[in-house]
């Protein structure tokens, strides 16, 4: 079977078609490689194409099926991986020219898990230098363009992953998220972006040095997809245990059924710091959809939401400046150097005492949120206070940096407490996607995804390009 529309299918459908021999993995991979060849020169999402390896892997996948071998849940399905995540034989360059020859000898556990599940990597996706901006541009690979409108950011840092999925190059893009780097690109590109709970998905880059403490506390690996059911499938593949990550926790992917009706806390203006009218409207619209699905939706904000988000720079900035600034200044390029300058201006060094105080405060707030989740298992709120920002806004001025930081408050609160959250699209406004974020208690991705699926059923999103 040859089907030119195979690249339009979601991962669940493709996996089923391959498993039941309705289509070969090679045909699926060829369709996506053809799509990549057509659109990637415009969008610059995939910066290393692995066509030959992918086709060979597809042939092996088809041969395994012909022999009747047991196969994984993503057997023969194409994916992309991000250039800051180790994949054997590929550079882990993180968008930095000085790291272009840093070739990984082994896979990061998240990549290994995807491969074990049968996924086939078509290519490696772009990121900002050092994966430290909400805009995807760097001196090594250049800028990745948003397929909805090239004058607006595709998000970052997993911007290349998002565009590879939104433009039909693969149904699943692997990304990582410490301050919104999965959820925000998904929001900007009209996708589903899942940030799993801290400890859910194992990760470790064999090629790298030890990670900063703040990254150890808040960074996770997660998928970007066009459908919620694909996010659920990708999570199941990614979450397999690996002894390389001591933080991995083998919690069930499905938790106990919550009390019914499910109560949802609606927050349309987090911490009262301001959101655009269309952002508030889409959160309230999603709230009505959840009510129609049988939830009880109440306008109530979790404890000290603004204080939780404000802990992010207190926990992270000293750490990042200490570990990353020397390399950024020497090798990162003008964009990241300017961004770091604004970080320093906004967040003066807290020192060891300040970081310890933030960790103490984090424990207090985590307890309050646990109590809140006992009554409201889900929180519905914006992904960002604005729609996708104009390209390069974060480098224009300190005032622009402050505007962005304020808008991203809902993204920052989630990693501080190690929570799962999913960004799900709700529609299109002024030519750009809109969406909402649904967060829940740790290890309850199942609740977040179920609610996201109810929203998705009403949103009727489409691909940005045909």
Q: What are phi and psi of 311, to 5 degrees?
A: -70, -20
Taking the C-alpha atoms of residue 197 and residue 222, their distance in angstroms, rounded to an integer, is 10
Taking the C-alpha atoms of residue 122 and residue 33, their distance in angstroms, rounded to an integer, is 7
Can you tell me which residue has the tokens 């699943």?
172
Residues in a beta bridge with 436: 382, 424
Inter-residue contact 79 to 119 (CB < 8 Å): yes
Inter-residue contact 220 to 177 (CB < 8 Å): yes
Annotated catalytic, 157?
yes
Annotated catalytic, 82?
yes
Inter-residue contact 134 to 394 (CB < 8 Å): yes
Q: One of 92, 158, 181, 214 is an active-site residue; which one?
A: 181
User: Which residues make Cβ contacts (< 8 Å) with residue 233, sequence separation at least 6?
Assistant: 11, 12, 15, 73, 74
Structure tokens at 126: 């772009």
Conformational region of residue 329, where left means phi above 0, alpha means psi within -120 to 50, and beta covers everything else: alpha
Residue 27's Cβ-side half-sphere holds a number of Cα atoms within 13 Å equal to: 15
How far does Cα 249 stand from its chain's mean position? 20
CA separation, residue 157 to residues 111, 178, 226, 424 (Å) = 18, 9, 18, 18
Q: One of 157, 158, 219, 423 is an active-site residue; which one?
A: 157
> Hey, is 173 helix, strand or coil?
strand
User: Which residues make Cβ contacts (< 8 Å) with residue 169, sequence separation at least 6?
Assistant: 7, 32, 35, 36, 39, 40, 45, 46, 80, 122, 123
Q: One of 24, 31, 82, 423 is an active-site residue; which one?
A: 82
Active site residues: 82, 157, 181
């Amino acid at each position: 079977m040859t089907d030119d529309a195979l690249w339009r299918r979601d991962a669940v459908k493709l996996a089923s078609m391959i498993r039941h021999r309705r289509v070969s993995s090679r045909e699926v991979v060829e369709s996506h490689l053809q799509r990549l060849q057509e659109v990637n020169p415009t969008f610059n999402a995939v910066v290393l194409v692995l066509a030959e390896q992918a086709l060979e892997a597809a042939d092996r996948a088809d041969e395994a099926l012909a022999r009747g071998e047991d196969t994984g849940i993503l057997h023969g399905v194409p994916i992309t991986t991000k250039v800051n995540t180790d994949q054997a034989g590929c550079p882990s360059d993180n968008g930095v020219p000085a790291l272009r020859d840093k070739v990984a000898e082994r896979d990061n556990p998240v990549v290994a898990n995807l491969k074990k599940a049968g996924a086939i990597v078509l290519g490696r996706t772009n990121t900002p230098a050092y994966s430290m901006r909400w805009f995807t541009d760097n001196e090594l690979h250049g800028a990745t363009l948003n397929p909805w409108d090239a004058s607006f950011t595709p998000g970052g840092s997993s911007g290349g992953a998002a565009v590879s999925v939104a433009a039909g190059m693969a149904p699943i893009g692997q990304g990582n998220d410490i301050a919104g780097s999965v959820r925000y690109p998904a929001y900007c590109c009209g996708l589903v972006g899942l940030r799993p709970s801290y400890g859910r998905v194992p990760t470790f880059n064999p090629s790298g040095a030890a990670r900063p403490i703040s990254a150890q506390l808040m960074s996770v690996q997660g998928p970007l997809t066009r459908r919620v059911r694909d996010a659920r499938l990708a999570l199941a593949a990614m979450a397999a245990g690996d002894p390389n990550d001591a933080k991995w926790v083998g919690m069930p992917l499905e938790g106990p059924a919550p009390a019914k009706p499910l109560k949802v806390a609606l927050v349309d203006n987090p911490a009262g710091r301001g959101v655009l009218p269309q952002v508030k409207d889409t959160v309230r619209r999603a709230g009505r959809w959840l009510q129609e699905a049988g939830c009880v939706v109440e306008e109530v904000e979790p404890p000290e939401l603004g204080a939780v988000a404000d802990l992010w720079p207190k926990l992270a900035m000293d750490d990042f400046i200490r570990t990353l600034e020397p390399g950024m200044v020497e090798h990162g390029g003008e964009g990241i150097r300017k961004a770091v300058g604004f970080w320093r201006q906004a967040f003066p060094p807290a020192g060891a005492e300040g970081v310890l105080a933030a960790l103490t405060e984090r424990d207090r707030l985590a307890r309050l949120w646990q109590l809140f989740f006992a009554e409201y298992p889900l929180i519905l709120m914006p992904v960002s206070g604005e729609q996708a920002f104009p390209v390069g806004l974060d480098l224009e001025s300190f005032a622009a940096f402050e505007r962005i930081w304020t808008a991203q408050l809902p993204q920052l609160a989630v990693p501080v407490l190690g929570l799962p959250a999913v960004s799900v699209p709700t529609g299109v406004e002024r030519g750009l996607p809109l969406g909402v974020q649904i967060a829940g208690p740790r290890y309850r991705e199942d609740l977040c995804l179920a609610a996201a699926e109810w929203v998705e059923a009403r949103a009727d999103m489409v691909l940005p390009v045909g």
